[in-house]
Amino acid sequence: MIHSDLIAKICAAAPVIPVLTIDRVEDAQPLARALIAGGLPALEITLRTDAALEAIAAIAEVEGAMVGVGTLLTPAQVQDAKAAGAIFGVSPGATPSLIAAALEFDLALLPGAATATEAMRLLEQGFTFQKFFPAEAAGGALALGSMAGPLPQITFCPTGGVTPENAKTYLALPNTLCVGGSWIAPKALVATGAWDEITQIARRAASLLQ
């Protein structure tokens, strides 16, 4: 099942999905609570550290968290993420084997596309919600907005180079529901346990549509 309704709910929960790289499992739950307190309940944990899967499992236990996994590249990662408790997955691109694994293991997938052709191929398979990546390198808001006319059926979550300064430009587009941002939880603040400061950053991000 494609789970378009679940992806829509996740993308509509807040204007920004934090893209998180967690080095220490013990940071996972307090970080998640800080972000949820700031109004950002949908969290993407990237598979870029050894602690990622344990962090996903820990965050899955936090009340109000919608935990997902990012940088999905292989079917094995899909299986591991689902087993850890992820309810959605995000990939930089899409391959037949990755999509097949997401369907097999019943993981809601937000697959990546950078061109109209890639977006159309995913649409053919039922993916009406897609990640636009790498957003800035692929032409930014101008390129993404240009897809709205010929491909009105697709709604995007642009990620890659999105900042507090340009996020509003993306969010103003008719085909953008949310953005993915790695600026929400700076490594220095996570390392020192500055959860209140992270909550404040999250609150500013959550108010971007106001």
pLDDT of residue 2: 87
Q: At what angle do helices 28-37 and 52-59 cross, to 10 degrees?
A: 50
**Whether 67 contacts 86, CB under 8 Å:** yes
Report the number of distinct structural domains present in the chain.
1
Q: At what angle do helices 75-84 and 96-104 cross, to 10 degrees?
A: 30
Domain CATH number, residue 16: 3.20.20.70
- Residue in the block written with tokens 């050894």: 50
pLDDT of residue 209: 85
Provide the residue range defining the domain that includes 93.
4-206
The string of DSSP codes covering the chain is ---HHHHHHHHHS-SEEEEE--S-GGGHHHHHHHHHHTT--EEEEES-STTHHHHHHHHTTSTT-EEEEES--SHHHHHHHHHHT-SEEE-SS--HHHHHHHHHTT-EEE-EE-SHHHHHHHHHTT--EEEETTTTTTTHHHHHHHTTTT-TT-EEEEBSS--TTTHHHHHTSTTBS-EEESSSS-HHHHHTT-HHHHHHHHHHHHTTT-
Catalytic residues: 44, 131
From first to last of its 210 residues, what are the pLDDT tens digits of the chain? Answer: 889 999 999 999 999 999 999 999 999 999 999 999 999 999 999 999 999 999 999 999 999 999 999 999 999 999 999 999 999 999 999 999 999 999 999 999 999 999 999 999 999 999 999 999 999 999 999 999 999 999 999 999 999 999 999 999 999 999 999 999 999 999 999 999 999 999 999 999 999 987
Quote the CA–CA distance of 187 and 24 in Å, as a whole number: 11
